[in-house]
Amino acid sequence: MSKSGWKRYKLSQVMEIIGGGTPKTTVKEYWGGDIPWLSVVDFGGGNRHVYKTEKSITQKGLEESSTKILKKGQVIISARGTVGEIAQLGCDMAFNQSCYGLVGEQEIVQNDFLYYLLKNSVTDLQKNTHGAVFDTITRQTFDCIDVDVPPLPTQKKIAKILGDLDEKIELNHQMNKTLESIAQAVFKKWFVDFEFPGYEKSKFVNGLPEGWREGTLTEICDIIMGQSPPGETYNESGDGIPFYQGNRDFGYRFPTARVFCSAPTRFADTGDVLVSVRAPVGALNIAHDKCCIGRGVAALRMKNHSNGFLFYFLATQDDLWNRFNSEGTVFGCLNKSEFNKIDLVIPSDDVLAGFFRFVVSVEAMLWKNEEENRRLSGIRDSLLPKLMAGEVAV
């Protein structure tokens, strides 16, 4: 195919590179304002757009840290530690020094196309990192990458094709978040507020509905602690089964297979609840397929009934997870003995069965959306390098 009008540039030539900053964490008036402040934890989930951040800063904090505001539609990339995470902003945001803001040079590249150009260049960027302790993308890294850039009208067509796929993926993600919030609300109503179907006629004994009792997590579920196989059995070519080592592999609800293992030692089954047991402790996912779990992950499986109850119970344990994640904690990780100490109220079998009948339809829709997203992601990832190489007519 002819690539008429395409030009070759250094990646650094097609965009402005903007550094971020962090206000002093000891100054309270710099934090909690109305300016979203973005770090890599806010956009590491694989979505194209990021709309909100965990933390925000004040105007004073912005001025003190000498950072700049990135505008809606501009691009952000993680540059230190977990390098190469890329997103477009869904609104104006400030950002920390572990990221770069990237703004397309208007006469050369539009921001929507720049996002996909960078996605296609991630492997090259990661190969050209610097730093003795942490992998780091520096400004010089962008000087090392050559890219072919088509005329602006072609860029718009390419970005539209890929963007339509990403929009459907993000819509499915949003649908799943809505479905999960509905299930969480029902869980709270039934198992926290004790307003389950028929509760009006139930007798309460010592503050609990008749047939319910106090117990421990290990009474209702089996716990499989992960174990890391020999390093030489890891691969990225798909040999063996997916291997999840920790929180880095987790998505919004389902993990993403980056690494595979040809000699797995500890397994999670499809539908098991996966829990991150090393910092950050308490992140939750659902195993999409049978997989190998490393020492940063535990798999939990209900002995009876659906894992849905287990997932939503663990999602209410923020106080527990915060105890392990708090600065200066004596707990380095969540081990099996700590799981054994987790108390809960164990509902009666008939109420658990009722929750299963409710949640099974929700889970079916979540899985359907996830399956569709995996197909769409496969199409997008297959098209991306071909479109960027000018191998597909647009």
> Can you give the pLDDT of all 394 residues of the chain as single tens digits?
458 899 999 999 999 999 999 999 999 999 999 999 999 888 866 789 999 999 999 999 999 988 889 999 999 999 987 789 999 999 999 999 999 999 999 999 999 999 999 999 999 999 988 765 678 899 999 999 999 999 999 999 999 999 999 999 999 999 999 999 999 999 999 999 999 999 999 999 999 999 999 999 999 999 999 999 999 999 999 999 999 998 888 988 999 898 999 999 999 999 999 999 987 899 999 999 999 999 999 999 999 878 999 999 999 998 888 888 775 444 557 889 999 999 999 999 999 999 999 999 999 999 999 999 999 999 999 999 999 999 998 8
Structure token digits, residue 47? 């979505």
150-187+348-394 CATH: 1.10.287
**How deeply is 350 buried, as exposed, middle or buried, from its count of CB atoms within 10 A (0-12, 13-18, 19+)?**
exposed
Query: Fold match between 150-187+348-394 and 213-346?
Result: no
7-146 CATH: 3.90.220.20
d(CA 176, CA 366): 6
Q: What is the pLDDT of residues 118-165, one digit of tens each?
A: 999 999 999 988 765 678 899 999 999 999 999 999 999 999 999 999
Predicted local confidence at residue 133, as pLDDT: 61
User: Where exactly are the structural domains of the chain?
Assistant: 7-146, 150-187+348-394, 213-346
What's the CA angle centered on 90, arms 23 and 176, to 5 degrees? 110
Closest listed residue to residue 162, CA positions, set 115, 221, 219, 198? 115
Residue 115, CA distances (Å) to 70, 101, 192, 255 in order = 14, 11, 44, 23
Predicted local confidence at residue 41, as pLDDT: 83
Question: What share of the chain in percent tops pLDDT 70?
Answer: 97
Predicted local confidence at residue 361, as pLDDT: 93
213-346: CATH, from 3.40.50.850, 3.40.50.1100, 3.40.920.10, 3.90.220.20? 3.90.220.20
What residue type is assigned to position 68 of the chain?
Answer: K
